[in-house]
Amino acid sequence: METVFYKGQRVTAVNSKYPGNGVIDKVNPRTIAVTLDGGHKVRYDRMFLVPEGTAPTAPEPITVEHVPYVAPPQPGTVVRVSSKLVWREPKLDGLWIVCGEQGGKSRLFRLNNTDGRYWRIPNEDLVRVHATVTEVGGA
């Protein structure tokens, strides 16, 4: 519930730059003009003020979740698309060459592709293949 502020109310400023107690001079829709006890006039955002006598609440603890970083494959890397995508889209089966990467997705060309079409696949769904030249159809 949002606190209601009014002119003449005593408030405590919970601000690292201008902390202290004071009296509200003017209430605007977003900011509140306060005269601090030392006579200094300050304009605060509503989130920095609490009615005097109420202790500011401690922030809620932050939960941090570890998200593994997947380095994008370099252009020219031979990859396969993970089985979860191949199951949904059988056309993705086979070997692919990475053409480039942007925004967490790689542009893939099918190996021995001649039509110029490519797919944009998320980097986490790619599996690098360590292949020799003879395995991919070379001399």
Instruction: Report the alpha-carbon distance of residue 40 to residue 13 in Å, rounded.
Output: 13
pLDDT at 24: 94
Q: What does the block give as tokens for 129?
A: 């293949």
Architecture of domain 78-128: Roll (2.30)
The number of beta carbons lying within 10 Å of the beta carbon of residue 32 is 24
pLDDT by residue (tens digit) across 73-86? 888 888 888 877 77
Which of the four pLDDT bands, split at 50, 70 and 90, describes residue 69? confident
Domain boundaries, the chain: 10-51, 78-128
Which of the four pLDDT bands, split at 50, 70 and 90, describes residue 27? very high
pLDDT at 139: 54
- Average pLDDT of 10-36? 89
Q: Does residue 9 carry a pLDDT above 90?
A: yes
Angle at CA 67, nearest 5°, toward 61 and 68? 150
**Common-topology check for domains 10-51 and 78-128:** yes
Assigned fold of 10-51: SH3 type barrels. (2.30.30)
